[in-house]
């Protein structure tokens, strides 16, 4: 589509770094195709995002909106990781109050498209009023959206036949193919909260249903190689084009003000002293705050495994001294892609694999089930009721995938998944097809 016009695309993610970072990765990939991006967030969040790569500085602009003051929100709290869980509904209220300033920007700049998140249920009508097409870009996979409800109307009107957490521990009746993917009871209890009214005055499920109904297109951070049946089902359930944009692995040129190389030299020196494929890399991102008990059992489990590990952990708990020499507890930013690519790293212990999986958030349990079925990882066993795990269960799972013969199949399958995740050409094709769709859609609708 060399003759297709350049697009101007606005992007408006929810105020969580687990959302903003994938949106920023997608923005960079769209900009690389020659299109203009207006990336909209609040001033403090923009300051904390990675810098725009120099080669894309003419294509991407940050648009800073002032987050309205909100009772019950601490000063300078502009993202979910600035807050305890019970305060996040008040952040949603402040975010909802951005609609006037966002509408003003959209009216003045008239982008061709706006790509937005699930929280701004009020956004699709505003975009339509100004003749702007909208994409709901989901950072969770298609299978999670299929689990949420059978249609936009059902989500908006609260017409879900499931009335208690136990109902979410089996696949929904509207899934027409055989699957064992479902929530554990402790996960279902947390997931059920999204159907309940919160202090923002709107349920999360109503928000989701409204953006699914009002947007022109649904995009998902996923690929057909992992969940083709779910992607196809999502389109059937919600009657919209559903486009996977690939897995959006972080690009290597993430700027850290020149500190990255010095940090990497220190880490690489330690990794280089370890045996091939023996190190466990542990990371749960910046959004997760483990309880003291969860942290202790995980730490003791790592120690009990007897295996070397590198743990990217933001809060110190005195564990560093105890494991000196065999394990590293790293309390600042770490170059994740470089660490995972090192030959000494044999397993990744994270929310949902590959190899060792300990899910905590909304969709991670479902993804962990999918990966377990594909034999690319095992879940650390947990109590079905409350999700508790022990140091023994942590240690046994780690030793199985790194040391034991019966873990060989997981190691081999995980290599295949790593190749898929690292396939830049494949993921680039997904973005290319996504952008091509947006261009064709505009051209058709302009006629």
CA atoms within 13 A on the CB side of 439: 18
Asked if residues 113 and 132 have their Cβ atoms less than 8 Å apart, the reply is yes
Asked if residues 344 and 274 have their Cβ atoms less than 8 Å apart, the reply is yes
Annotated catalytic residue 76: no
The whole-angstrom distance between residue 96's C-alpha and the CA centroid of its chain comes to 21
The whole-angstrom distance between residue 27's C-alpha and the CA centroid of its chain comes to 15
Catalytic residue among 19, 116, 186, 351: 19
Annotated catalytic residue 19: yes
Q: Give me the residues paired with residue 279 across strands.
A: 345
Number of other residues whose CB lies within 10 A of the CB of residue 42: 18
Q: Give me the residues paired with residue 269 across strands.
A: none
Catalytic residue among 96, 112, 117, 204: 117
CA nearest to 356, candidates 337, 379, 336, 381: 379
CA nearest to 369, candidates 382, 361, 378, 381: 378
Question: SS3 for the chain, per residue?
Answer: CCCCCCCEEEEECCCCHHHHHHHHHHHHHHHHCCCEEEEEEEHHHHHHCCCCCHHHCCCEEEEEECCCCCCCCCCCCCCHHHCCHHHHHHHHHHHHCCHHHHHHHHHHHCCCEEEECCCCCCHHHHHHHCCCEEEEEECCCHHHHHHHCCCHHHHHHCCCCCCCHHHHHCCCCCCCCCCCCCCCHHHHHHHHHHHCCCCCCCCHHHHHHHHHHHCCEEEECCCHHHHHHHHHHHHHHHCCCEEECCCCCCCCCCCCCCCHHHHHHHHHHHHCCCCCCCEEEEECCCCCCCCHHHHHHHHHHHHHHCCCEEEECCCCCCHHHHCCCCEEEECCCCCHHHHHHCCCEEEEEECCCCEEECCCCCCHHHHHHHHHHCCCEEECCCCCCCCCCCHHHHHHHHHHHHCCHHHHHHHHHHHHHHHHHCCHHHHHHHHHHHHHHHHHHHHHHHC
- Catalytic positions, written as ranges: 19, 117
């Amino acid at each position: 589509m060399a003759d297709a016009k350049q697009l101007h695309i606005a992007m408006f993610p929810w105020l969580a770094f687990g959302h903003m970072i994938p949106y920023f990765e997608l923005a960079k990939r769209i900009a690389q195709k020659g299109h203009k991006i207006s990336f909209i967030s609040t001033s403090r969040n923009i300051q904390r995002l990675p810098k725009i790569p120099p080669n894309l500085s003419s294509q991407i602009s940050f648009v800073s909106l002032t987050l309205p003051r909100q009772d019950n929100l601490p000063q300078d709290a502009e993202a979910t990781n600035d807050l305890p869980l019970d305060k996040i509904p008040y952040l949603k209220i402040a975010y909802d109050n951005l609609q006037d300033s966002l509408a003003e920007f959209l009216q003045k700049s008239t982008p061709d498209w706006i790509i937005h998140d699930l929280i701004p249920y009020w956004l699709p009508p505003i975009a339509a009023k100004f003749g702007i097409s909208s994409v709901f870009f989901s950072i969770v996979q298609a299978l999670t959206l299929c689990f949420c409800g059978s249609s936009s109307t059902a989500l908006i009107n609260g017409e879900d036949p499931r009335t208690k957490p136990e109902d979410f521990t089996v696949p929904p009746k509207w899934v027409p193919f055989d699957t064992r993917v479902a929530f554990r009871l402790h996960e279902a209890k947390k997931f059920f909260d999204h159907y309940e009214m919160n202090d923002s005055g709107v349920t999360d499920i109503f928000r989701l249903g409204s953006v699914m109904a009002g947007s022109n297109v649904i995009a998902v951070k996923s690929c057909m190689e992992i969940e083709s049946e779910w992607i196809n089902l999502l389109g059937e359930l919600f009657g919209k084009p559903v486009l996977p944009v690939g897995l959006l692995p972080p690009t290597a040129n993430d700027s850290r003000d020149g500190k990255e190389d010095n940090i990497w030299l220190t880490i690489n020196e330690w990794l280089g002293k370890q045996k091939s494929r023996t190190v466990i890399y542990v990371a749960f991102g910046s959004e997760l705050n483990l309880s003291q008990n969860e942290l202790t059992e995980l730490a003791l489990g790592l120690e009990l495994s007897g295996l070397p590990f590198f743990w990217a952990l933001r809060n110190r708990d005195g564990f560093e001294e105890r494991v000196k020499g065999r394990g590293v507890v790293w309390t600042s930013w770490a170059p994740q892609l470089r660490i995972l690519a090192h030959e000494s790293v044999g397993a990744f212990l994270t929310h949902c694999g590959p190899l060792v999986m300990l899910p905590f958030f909304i969709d991670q349990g479902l993804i962990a089930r999918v990966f377990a079925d594909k034999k690319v990882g095992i879940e650390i066993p947990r109590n079905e009721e409350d999700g508790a795990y022990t140091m023994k269960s942590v240690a046994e799972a780690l030793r199985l995938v790194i040391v034991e013969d019966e873990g060989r199949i997981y190691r081999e399958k995980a290599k295949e998944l790593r190749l898929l995740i690292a396939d830049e050409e494949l993921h680039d094709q997904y973005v290319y097809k996504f952008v091509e769709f947006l261009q064709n859609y505009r051209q058709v609708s302009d006629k």
